Amino acid sequence: MNNEWFLVIETLEKIARFFDRLSKPTLGEPLLRVAEMVRTGRQNDAVDILTGTSLWGGAGSYVDRVLYPEDGFSFHEEDFGRINAEYLSLLLELLCRLELFVPRPWMAQKKGSFTTHG
């Protein structure tokens, strides 16, 4: 496994810890499964998930469901700005690390949306 994958795994684990701190560990579990795919040599499967619309797309995507959860937030409303900024920063980190070795045309625009909203 190359160094780029280690960095992706590190970021996936950071995001999972972020959800643990929010008392929402189940939100991090899919990302930990992707990290396990990478560790077990299933990088192609991981790339499909990590660059797919089910993760990065619009309404209904993983990113959208987390930013706007149906079951409400597990933190105080006044903390939303700080928590949202941390989450967007983690997503931006993941996107930048992926872009280094599995670039997709849509990534630049997505990065821009994270930096203007964070």
pTM over 0.75: yes
Q: Please give the span between the terminal C-alpha atoms of the chain, in angstroms, as a whole number.
A: 32
The structure tokens listed for 17 are 């810890």
- The total domain count for the chain is 1
CA dihedral 17, 108, 69, 88 (to 10 degrees): 40
Structural domain including 82 reads: 3-117
Picking from 39-43, 82-86, 104-108, which range would have the lowest pLDDT averaged per residue?
82-86
pLDDT of residue 9: 97
Mean pLDDT, the chain, integer: 86
pLDDT digit string, tens, across residues 59-93: 667 776 666 666 666 666 777 788 888 888 999 99
